[in-house]
Structure 1
Amino acid sequence: MPEFSDFLAILNNSDITVPLGLSLLTGAVIGGEREVQGKPAGLRTHMLVCLASTLLMLVATRQSEWVMTQIPGTSIVADLTRMPHGILTGIGFLGAGVIMRNGVSVHGLTTAASLWVTAALGIVYGVGMVSLGVIGSVIALLVLGLLKLLQTFIPVRMKVRVVVRVREGAAFGASDLESLLRNHGLSVREVSWRHFGAHTATELAVSAYTRSTRSHLEALVQALRGVDGVTDFTVRPLDGPAHEG
């Protein structure tokens, strides 16, 4: 049984306490950023991931301290690279749990990536490369925070899916829809047709791109509502909710 002095000896060992402390701090900062963004994996999840990675690597690098009974005449060959492989494989399953698909939109990829890099930083701390871990933490925070801020000033091209159902015999056709989309700042990429014989209607589906704002899409929705012959439609930004009419 370990004695109280054994715990004090571990706490006085900076080779153990520094990596553990930095892993908790790194997980807290990265997880805090995800928490502020309202993501499913936040402060506690990232702290636990980074701490667990560091603990496992500390155990792997200190195999000489393991208490075990060895058969006389045998030798153990240790491969320390197996532990990082196992950690990152496990994080892959955890990351898959925060990725959600809503129709053609996929959410949670950045949070899954932040869990993965948090685990990697915990591994770096665990093998004693503290300076590299701190540098990696700063870079990760810059990617999550600073680049997020820059994206608000950089016009991002957004993919939009527009599906319009037109009553049979209406004058509104594919060319008219393309012109309407271009007038609202959308660049048309492809058009497909689908005919409903029983319902006497034709469905036009268009894939387009835009650098316009959401307000321009709202204007497009209002314009489609006023088109004679259009019975219903869907305007779906592929990174957000759909607008239907």
Structure 2
Amino acid sequence: MRDTRRVAMSDLGVWEIVLRLGVGALLGGAVGLEREYAGQDAGFRTHLLLSVGAALFGVISVGAFDDFITDGGSNNVTVDVSRIASYVAPGVGFIGGGAILKHRGTVRGITTATSLWTAAAVGLASGVGFWIAAAVATTIALVALAVLKPLSNWVDARRHAPATLVVEVNPSGDGAAVLSEIQTLALPPIKVTRLTPDEGGSLTLAIEFWTRPAQPVIDQLNAMLATGRGDIADVSFIA
């Protein structure tokens, strides 16, 4: 007679499950706190829920199928504990894609999308009991997001060297027409455009670029906006 006793895939008690889900929530929430502090929409609660959800998928993978496995060849059930976990990454990719936005010629939200992806991986590692990997990954993520942010900003500032073009338009000039004329050139991405009326009827046109225009473009702008024109009073670049 065949022995049909269950072969346990894992020995997860109640407190072990609680611990794995709790650690996943704690570590994912820690990453989310930094994103919350940075003013991102996907903050503390989003990262915590994503991480604990991934942890639950991990717990299900390694501990939820004990009752379906028997010894002795009475059935042909084969359980791959990695199958459920393997679907976490595509699911998180869908969520992370929603955090990435293209705005005014730039892409924003990539860091938050990657932090969501990391939080899911941390949660999954916690769910399968891979404690050291989960803790180390959380530490590295927090260092990259918080500690290394000033260095990233410094490198970004030196690389992009933003600049603002300020054009003083005479009362007889048309600020919108001047702006349209400027935009015919091969300009770098524009961050902000402001057209502000001044006392006496003149206008101040300020165009803030994400990166400083190349010198040939600056020469073209200076030639186009030469103060000899009747509608332009002054032109200047502010670094």
Normalising to structure 1: TM-score of the pair?
A: 0.60
Is residue 37 of structure 2 the alignment partner of residue 36 of structure 1?
yes
The AA in structure 2 aligned to 1:74 is: N
Cα 1:28–1:231 change in 2 (3 A) is: farther
The AA in structure 2 aligned to 1:205 is: A
Q: What is the CA deviation profile of residues 98-155 of structure 1, one whole-angstrom value per residue up to 9, with x for unaligned ones?
A: 1111132110000000000000011111111112111111111101111103234444
Partner of 1:179: none
Task: Give yes or no for contact 1:31–1:45 (8 Å, CA) kept in 2.
Answer: yes
Distance 2:93 2:113 in 1: 8
The AA in structure 2 aligned to 1:227 is: A
Cα 1:88–1:66 change in 2 (3 A) is: farther
Matches within 5 A, 1:1-245: 10-11=13-14, 13=15, 15-66=16-67, 73-154=74-155, 155-158=157-160, 203-207=184-188, 227-228=226-227
Task: Give yes or no for contact 1:33–1:145 (8 Å, CA) kept in 2.
Answer: yes
CA RMSD of aligned residues (A): 4.0
Task: Give yes or no for contact 1:91–1:115 (8 Å, CA) kept in 2.
Answer: yes
Distance 2:162 2:146 in 1: 26
SS in 2 for 1:41: coil
Partner of 1:180: none
Normalising to structure 2: TM-score of the pair?
A: 0.61
Give 1:162 deviation, angstroms.
9.7
Greater relative contact order (Cα 8 A, min sep 6): structure 1 or 2?
2
Q: What is the CA deviation profile of residues 31-84 of structure 1, one whole-angstrom value per residue up to 9, with x for unaligned ones?
A: 11101111110111000000000011101101343479xxx9432112222222
The AA in structure 2 aligned to 1:101 is: K
Cα 1:22–1:205 change in 2 (3 A) is: same
The AA in structure 2 aligned to 1:158 is: H
Give 1:21 deviation, angstroms.
1.6
Give 1:18 deviation, angstroms.
2.3
Partner of 2:171: none
Distance 1:148 1:46 in 2: 19
Distance 2:110 2:148 in 1: 16
Partner of 1:240: none
User: Tell me, which stretches of 5 or more residues in structure 2 are unaligned?
Assistant: 1-11, 166-179, 190-207, 213-217, 233-237
Pairs aligned (count): 177
Give 1:29 deviation, angstroms.
1.0
Cα 1:100–1:67 change in 2 (3 A) is: same
Task: Give yes or no for contact 2:36–2:42 (8 Å, CA) kept in 1.
Answer: yes
Aligned-residue identity in percent: 28
SS in 2 for 1:227: coil
Task: Give yes or no for contact 1:161–1:206 (8 Å, CA) kept in 2.
Answer: no
Task: Give yes or no for contact 2:61–2:83 (8 Å, CA) kept in 1.
Answer: no
Cα 1:205–1:53 change in 2 (3 A) is: same
Distance 2:61 2:145 in 1: 30
SS in 2 for 1:40: coil
Task: Give yes or no for contact 1:162–1:207 (8 Å, CA) kept in 2.
Answer: no
